[in-house]
Amino acid sequence: MNDIFEYRTKILESHLDSFGHVNNANYLKLFEEARWDFITKNGHGLDYVLEKKVGPIILDINLRFKHELKNRDDIHITSQVIEVKNSKIYVIEQKMMRADGKLAAHALFTAGFFDLAERKLIAPELSWIRALGITNYSL
């Protein structure tokens, strides 16, 4: 089982649409914040990406909205790599939970590692595997 990362935050006014609940695009922003949080805490944040010129990119998104989120709701996001498709591509599952325990949104992100200089997908270094919490992987 790969590591599960947790991220907590609060819904702010800037996340809302004219209906008074979170705008659909802001779910993606919140999920991205959670992903950057755990890779940064694991030593692979933006500074590392810019220095090494290698980093994760999103290739595909499947996002389902389950229960609405409103202003000042506390949320909890879990993130976990659930599948390694091949040496370059993996799937991250993220769940956004409300404080009452209800699932607000569920997303699957197909991602890969991108070489910024060569402009192509590459196999990740072992340090990236560890930063993503992948425990059962061989290069």
pLDDT of residue 138: 61
Tell me the mean pLDDT in the region 14-27.
96
pLDDT of residue 98: 97
pLDDT of residue 118: 97
pLDDT of residue 136: 78
User: Which tokens sit at 110?
Assistant: 């197909």
Q: Please say if the pLDDT value at position 96 is more than 80.
A: yes
Please say whether the beta carbons of 102 and 110 come within 8 A: no
Please say whether the beta carbons of 66 and 96 come within 8 A: no
Burial of 32-59, coded b for 16+ CB within 10 Å and e otherwise, reads eebbbbbbeebebbeebbeeeebbbeeb
Q: Please say if the pLDDT value at position 139 is more than 60.
A: no
Tell me the mean pLDDT in the region 3-23.
97
pLDDT of residue 5: 98
5-131 folds as Thiol Ester Dehydrase; Chain A (3.10.129)
Binned at pLDDT 50, 70 and 90, residue 28 comes out as very high
Inter-CA distances, 63 with 25, 73, 88, 114, Å: 10, 20, 22, 23
Q: What angle do CA 54, 139, 38 make, to 5 degrees?
A: 50
Tell me the mean pLDDT in the region 73-91.
96
Please say whether the beta carbons of 115 and 54 come within 8 A: yes
